[in-house]
């Protein structure tokens, strides 16, 4: 590993130091599990009690639209780039899920966006040429004993690709990432100790020598609550890939429902293994860009066997379905389907639902109904058929009250990139196994299985 050491100024010692264990020790105990905090929930520091439930929903939907556009753009760009080039893919408007992580020695806690559609982990640092407003103090690399800059000739720097890295006068590696909404982060590529506080054992688990970006020039639509991004994508610089040997290439999360008072969880290592009766597994498909987690959706069915089985993109059989035709993403709220598949699904649902159809006041959703006076809306179950895994989606997620008295179908059509969003991942324990190239789903009540 090729590093050079950046001189450190005098250290200011913290009065309290976290007692931490190594990731190896944590792995022997089952790994590490930490909280995932939805950005608009009462558990988030950015929660605004003056906004209504419906206003928060609409804000989440708007972020979902922007993010899908950004991911689509990154997907198309990757087709024309060299295999080793690195492209950031997140539209970080607010962030759907936040994660607490400490950086450095002594550790300094930050709150960052946890993102499966992004690779590079970075935070805002001093000195700051241009930084967006954040509530927490900026990370100061001169006040930690474990910060090391990465040289321009190192493998870590080369993994970013020539379009996302450059060299400074001291042969240090500089990174540049930009996002679909014109947000960006530029700074020094470095290694540092990241520490997570386990929500199950209350122990602090240290991840040494993690490659991250120390951002000195950052701006855009980032929320002032967050101090950066924790990249959980499939690319080589994501923390999942960097820690692959120690955690066995495994992580999982369990997302609670929108009205839950309990935080979601994410686990790394043995704790992340999803096994047992009722687990459905589907292969991960390798495609470009490698940041994304691609699955194969073969079709969708509605209700019982008497209703039509709608094949993906109106193909004639499972054998003609393109592999890796949908990505699973924790940062997108809604689920996006190709228009041909969506149209067939909407038509089938309309025939099987008795109710007064109304227009979505905001014009986003195509299939909406008036909520009955008794507050009970009935719709047939929807089953998403992935290769080897049939997932029955709950009505609470497929039809949502988006305005007072208006219930809408929470799938939307897409002309290109298909995405399984987090709304339809809620109340599933979802395990990513990069070693065996699969994703496991287990239906559960995430609020009660914490």
Cα–Cα dist 295/242, whole Å: 22
Residue 55 CA to residue 402 CA, distance in Å, equals 9
First-residue to last-residue Cα distance in the chain: 39
Cis peptide before 13 (omega within 30 of 0): no
Tell me: the pLDDT tens digits for 328-350?
998 889 999 988 889 989 998 99
Count Cα atoms within 13 angstroms, Cβ side, for 329: 29
The CA distance from 89 to 9, in Å, is: 35
**Residue among 336, 335, 355, 362 nearest 54 (CA):** 362
> Where do runs of H (alpha helix) occur along 227-356?
239-242, 244-247, 339-352
What Cα–Cα distance (Å) separates residue 320 from each residue in 1, 30, 352? 45, 41, 28
Contact call for residues 364 and 279 (beta carbons, < 8 A):
no
Helix (H) or strand (E) holding 178: strand 173-178
Strands of the sheet containing 297-302, edge to edge, are 309-311, 297-302, 382-386, 389-393
Single pTM value for the model: 0.86
| Matching residue, tokens 């109904």 | 369
Encode pLDDT of 209-240 as tens digits.
999 999 999 998 788 888 899 999 999 899 99
Quote the CA–CA distance of 317 and 311 in Å, as a whole number.
7
Name the burial class of residue 158, with classes exposed (0-12), middle (13-18) and buried (19+) by CB atoms within 10 angstroms of its CB: middle
Which residues, in sequence order, are bridge partners of residue 242? Answer: none
Phi, psi for residue 81 in degrees, rounded to 5: -105, 160
Cα(111)–Cα(124) distance, integer angstroms = 11
CA 199, CA 253: separation in Å to the nearest integer? 13
Rounded to whole angstroms, the Cα distance separating 49 from 32 reads 32
Give the per-residue pLDDT at 432. 96
pLDDT digit string (tens) for the chain, length 450 residues = 333 333 333 333 332 333 455 555 655 555 789 999 888 787 777 778 888 888 888 888 888 887 887 777 666 555 444 333 223 333 333 447 889 999 999 999 998 988 888 899 999 999 999 999 998 899 999 999 999 999 999 998 988 888 889 999 999 999 998 876 678 899 999 999 999 888 877 788 888 999 999 999 999 878 888 889 999 999 989 999 998 888 889 999 999 988 888 889 999 988 899 998 999 999 999 998 899 999 999 988 888 643 444 555 555 555 678 899 999 998 889 999 988 889 989 998 998 899 999 999 889 999 999 999 998 999 999 999 999 999 999 888 999 999 999 999 999 999 888 999 999 999 999 999 999 999 999 999 998 865
How open is the CA angle 111-134-228, to the nearest 5 degrees?
A: 45
Tell me 79's DSSP state.
H
3-class state of residue 329 by DSSP: coil
CB 139 within 8 A of CB 124: yes
Q: What would the two tokens of residue 165 be?
A: 């890295």
Tokens of 404: 């007072």
Q: Are 145 and 105 in contact (CB under 8 A)?
A: yes
pLDDT of residue 405: 95
DSSP tag of 138:
P
Q: How far is residue 352's CA from residue 204's CA, in Å, rounded to a whole number?
A: 52
Residue whose structure tokens are 């609670």: 256
d(CA 174, CA 165): 5
| Catalytic sites, residue numbers | 115, 329
CA neighbor of 446 nearest in space, from 397, 406, 412: 397
User: Which residue matches tokens 């339809």?
Assistant: 424
């Amino acid at each position: 590993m090729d590093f050079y050491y950046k001189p450190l100024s005098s250290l200011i010692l913290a009065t309290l130091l976290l007692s931490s264990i190594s990731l190896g020790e944590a792995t022997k105990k089952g790994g590490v599990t930490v909280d995932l905090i939805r950005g608009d929930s009462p558990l988030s520091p950015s929660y605004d009690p003056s906004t209504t439930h419906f206003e928060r929903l609409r804000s989440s939907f708007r972020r979902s639209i922007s993010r899908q556009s950004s991911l689509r753009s990154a997907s198309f760009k990757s087709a024309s780039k060299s295999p080793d080039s690195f492209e950031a893919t997140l539209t970080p408007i607010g962030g759907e899920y936040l994660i607490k992580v400490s950086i450095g020695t002594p550790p300094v806690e930050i709150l960052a966006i946890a993102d499966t559609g992004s690779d590079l982990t970075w935070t805002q640092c001093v000195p700051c040429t241009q930084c967006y407003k954040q509530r927490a103090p900026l990370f100061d690399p001169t006040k930690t004993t474990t910060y090391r800059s990465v040289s321009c000739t190192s493998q870590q720097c080369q993994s970013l690709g020539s379009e996302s890295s450059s060299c400074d006068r001291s042969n240090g590696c500089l990174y540049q990432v930009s996002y679909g909404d014109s947000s960006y982060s530029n700074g020094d590529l470095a290694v540092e100790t990241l520490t997570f506080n386990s929500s199950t054992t209350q122990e602090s688990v240290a991840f040494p020598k993690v490659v991250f970006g120390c951002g000195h020039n950052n701006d855009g639509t980032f929320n002032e609550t967050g101090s950066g991004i924790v990249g959980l994508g499939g690319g080589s610089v994501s923390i999942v890939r960097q820690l692959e040997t120690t955690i066995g290439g495994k992580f999982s999360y369990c997302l609670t429902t929108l009205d839950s008072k309990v935080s979601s969880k994410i686990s790394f290592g043995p704790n992340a293994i999803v096994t047992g009766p009722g687990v459905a597994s589907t292969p991960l498909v390798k495609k470009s860009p490698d940041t994304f987690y691609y699955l194969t959706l073969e079709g969708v069915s509605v209700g019982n066997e008497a209703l039509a089985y709608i094949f993906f993109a109106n193909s004639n059989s499972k054998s003609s379905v393109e592999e890796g035709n949908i990505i699973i993403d924790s940062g997108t709220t809604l689920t996006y389907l190709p228009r041909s598949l969506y149209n067939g699904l909407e038509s089938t649902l309309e025939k099987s639902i008795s109710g007064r159809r109304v227009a979505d006041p905001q014009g986003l959703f195509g299939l909406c109904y008036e909520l009955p006076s008794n507050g009970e809306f009935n719709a047939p179950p929807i089953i998403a058929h992935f290769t080897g895994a049939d997932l029955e989606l709950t009505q609470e997620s497929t039809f949502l009250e988006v305005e007072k008295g208006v219930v809408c179908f929470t799938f939307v059509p897409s002309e290109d990139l298909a995405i399984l969003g987090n709304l339809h991942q809620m109340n599933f324990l979802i395990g990513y196994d990069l070693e065996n190239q699969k994703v496991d789903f287990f239906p559960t009540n995430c609020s009660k299985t914490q």
